Structure 1
């Protein structure tokens, strides 16, 4: 059995705020990897948003979205590597050991599937949140 922990800084609060604080700690717990300690106050917004998406409806939305972009394993690997490389095509190509134009081609295929450009911050936010949900186990 792995131990996980979610925590926030000590804050003097009214007793009525305890349920909200418990929900926050529960969200942090959901984002913690086994054996890890997560502070609510240190969570990035994308991890916070993804950890809060835990209902069956949330999972359905995420799964439908990810199904669109995960059909082609090469494109999927390219996209996740591209994101892990900070949207740097040259670095993604190096890590994948493929030509930069191949990375561009695969990313263009994903843009066609999604109907939006990866340079659009909102489209990229959707993708990153969906990937974080999958990492946390909320998206399939």
Structure 2
């Protein structure tokens, strides 16, 4: 293989992951269908490494802030009421919250590829769940979906 073909192959390989990456949406809702309040929709989502999630707040009082994440991941904290798209390039489990509605159980779980840090995320949840006065079972259900 000559240098030119090798270069073209290398460039194609680098950009191919971007071509196959998917964008997902998570809505940060004050009121969801079915009457549930202060929730992420979906509350649990499984994506592939390199995929993005666009967090869409229903109003100016919501944001998305990471609480627990894989060791090699970058923490995130979106501005209040602002739509933001985040690329998830580290495999593992992410636990995140809406900062002002944390006590109301407005949390979500993201699984990116293999759940290699699930025990650490579960331990973090045990440490912080006393600060959640409503909908703790919701978070437990999300964590139970991680496989």
- Higher helix content, 1 or 2: 1
TM-score between the two structures when normalised by the length of structure 1? 0.25
Q: RCO greater where, 1 or 2, for CA within 8 Å and sep 6 or more?
A: 1
TM-score between the two structures when normalised by the length of structure 2? 0.24
- Higher strand content, 1 or 2: 2
